[in-house]
Amino acid sequence: MTTALQPFGFDTDSFEAFLAQRAEPDWLLSMRRQSWDTYSKLAWPTRDHEEWIRTDIRTFRIENFRPPIQAPPASVAPPGLLTREVELAGACVSINSHSTSHWLAPQLASKGVLFGSLPELLADNADRLRPHLERQIVLPGYDKFAALTSAFWIGGQLLFVPRGVRVELPLHSLAALTADGVDLQKTLVILEEGAEATMLSETASLSVDVEAGNVVGSAPAESRGLHAGITEIVQGAGSRLRYVNLQNWGTGVWHFAHQKARLERDAGLQWTLAALGGKTAKVNQQVELAGKRSECQVNGVMFTEGRQHFSYHTLQHHQAPETRSDFLYKSALQDKSRTVWRGMIKVDPAAQKTDGYQRNDNLLLSDTSRADSIPGLEIEADDVRCTHGSTSGNVEEELIFYACSRGLTRREAVRLIVTGFFQQVLDRITIPSVRDALVNAIAQRVREYR
């Protein structure tokens, strides 16, 4: 026998070893096994696949990573960007998929709110959470990454808000990666009928002194990492959610995310999706407007530099009458970075009187950056209003000159123009700390223009 053993890689042996130490109910183990089966049968996506034509992952090797079964080499993560001077109702932190801390205001816990690490909360609430895990609105068979995550998720968060409970203050979650770390996570956000909440979630890369187990700062930009994640948001009738996602990994991290929301009657979702980090990020973002008059606003803010590659595939799926969707994505691109945005508004025959809007604007800060923008419509109802559009352009020299003629340096002028470009989408974000964090992060990244 000369079989090369990779006891710590992503193979069936390591998967079984992982299951053996999970102490999870049989229904969950069987779901995981089914997904593992799917994973084993699926090939890695190549540029022959529609969604991957513009996204090259030939240099991605799963063999370079180990399932993050061991505890992380650090227990403390730095504070996030999104919560400066923000009073919170709860927070949780994970490093390399493992929960390191979490808390929730007791008065919310007593109302039945669950918030924190999904695996830990699952241990105590298995029966209650079973239908939410079995729902799988992100199909494990969507692609190999969805299958991997469905089978092998180790960490992730849960927010569960029972019927009619309003969580006034935001909840915060931070997922961190150390060098060569892996974040394999499943996040569930469940709002029952009439519930309300705000959740701020962000990611970061850390540099760790392994001996001392201390965080010593943010990771060297290029240090390698992998995130594969599934986020499912399920909103009952009349519920209201503000959900903020900031992807802020170091620039050596592969980011593969499937994010999907399903909204029942009269539910409202404001979803802010910001992305600054990562090496290659491939994100599927889908919203199902399943109930009458449900509505969703998506605010996308992206800044890429170096050789970063972000690919976003979005779907706003109108399934019921009088639903509204409004997706606005803005990206600024520096250096040799690249973005791909492919958006689709789909309107089912039953979804009369819907209003769907999608727009993607790109600002190119270098001659070597590139933005591909592909909006699309698929409409099967006849009484609807759907509009879409996209723009790509450079910073106009006349604007720079105008600002310079008032005493601003060229770099100050470009920063101002770039933040101005984002203002339209930032104005829609109703959480001041998120707006401020994004403005600062973007302004810091803008360098001399040409």
Partner 1 sequence: MATDLLTITDLHVSVDDKPILRGVNLRMQRGETHALMGPNGSGKSTLGLALMGHPKYVVTQGAIELNGVDLLAMEADARARAGIFMAFQRPVAIPGVKMADFLRHATTNVRFPDRKEGEQLIPMKDFRKELRAKMDHLRMDVEFARRYVNDGFSGGEMKRAEILQMAMLQPKFAILDETDSGLDADAVRLASESIAEIGRNNMGLLIITHHDKLLEHNPPDFTHVMLGGRIVETGGVELAAELYSQGYDRIRRTYPEAEAENRAMLDHDEPQLSAVERE
Minimum distance of partner 1 from residue 428's CB (angstroms)? 12
- Using CB under 8 A as the binding rule, whether residue 423 contacts partner 1 is answered as yes
Q: Which of 1, 20, 85, 406 binds partner 1 (CB under 8 A)?
A: 406
Minimum distance of partner 1 from residue 410's CB (angstroms)? 7
Which C-beta is closer to partner 1: that of 40 or that of 424?
424
Which C-beta is closer to partner 1: that of 108 or that of 417?
417
Distance CA 209, CA 359 (A): 44
Block residue for tokens 């998720």: 153
Distance CA 288, CA 292 (A): 11
The span of 75-83, 162-170, 274-282, 406-414 binding partner 1 (CB under 8 A) equals: 406-414
Among positions 134-153, residues that touch partner 1 (CB under 8 A) are none
Q: Which of 412, 428, 436, 441 binds partner 1 (CB under 8 A)?
A: 412
Which C-beta is closer to partner 1: that of 63 or that of 398?
398
- Using CB under 8 A as the binding rule, whether residue 399 contacts partner 1 is answered as yes
Residues 6+ apart with CB under 8 A from 41: none
| Amino acid symbol at 335 | D
- Using CB under 8 A as the binding rule, whether residue 403 contacts partner 1 is answered as yes
Minimum distance of partner 1 from residue 400's CB (angstroms)? 9
- Using CB under 8 A as the binding rule, whether residue 410 contacts partner 1 is answered as yes
- Using CB under 8 A as the binding rule, whether residue 398 contacts partner 1 is answered as yes
Q: Which of 128, 389, 401, 440 binds partner 1 (CB under 8 A)?
A: 401
Contacts 24+ apart (CB under 8 A), 46-53: 49/143, 51/143, 51/282, 51/284, 51/311, 51/313, 51/342, 52/282
| Amino acid symbol at 232 | E
Block residue for tokens 């505890």: 71
Say if CB 411 and CB 447 are below 8 A apart: yes
The span of 112-120, 193-201, 302-310, 395-403 binding partner 1 (CB under 8 A) equals: 395-403
- Using CB under 8 A as the binding rule, whether residue 397 contacts partner 1 is answered as yes
- Using CB under 8 A as the binding rule, whether residue 402 contacts partner 1 is answered as yes
Which C-beta is closer to partner 1: that of 189 or that of 403?
403
The span of 166-174, 270-278, 298-306, 407-415 binding partner 1 (CB under 8 A) equals: 407-415
- Using CB under 8 A as the binding rule, whether residue 407 contacts partner 1 is answered as yes
Q: Which of 12, 61, 396, 450 binds partner 1 (CB under 8 A)?
A: 396
Distance CA 322, CA 310 (A): 32
- Using CB under 8 A as the binding rule, whether residue 391 contacts partner 1 is answered as no
Which C-beta is closer to partner 1: that of 228 or that of 417?
417
Which C-beta is closer to partner 1: that of 22 or that of 410?
410
Distance CA 103, CA 175 (A): 15
The span of 164-172, 179-187, 350-358, 397-405 binding partner 1 (CB under 8 A) equals: 397-405
- Using CB under 8 A as the binding rule, whether residue 416 contacts partner 1 is answered as yes
- Bridge partners (DSSP) listed for residue 289: 263, 318
Which C-beta is closer to partner 1: that of 215 or that of 446?
446
The span of 104-112, 263-271, 377-385, 405-413 binding partner 1 (CB under 8 A) equals: 405-413
* Contact residues for partner 1, defined by CB under 8 A: 396-399, 401-413, 416-417, 419-424
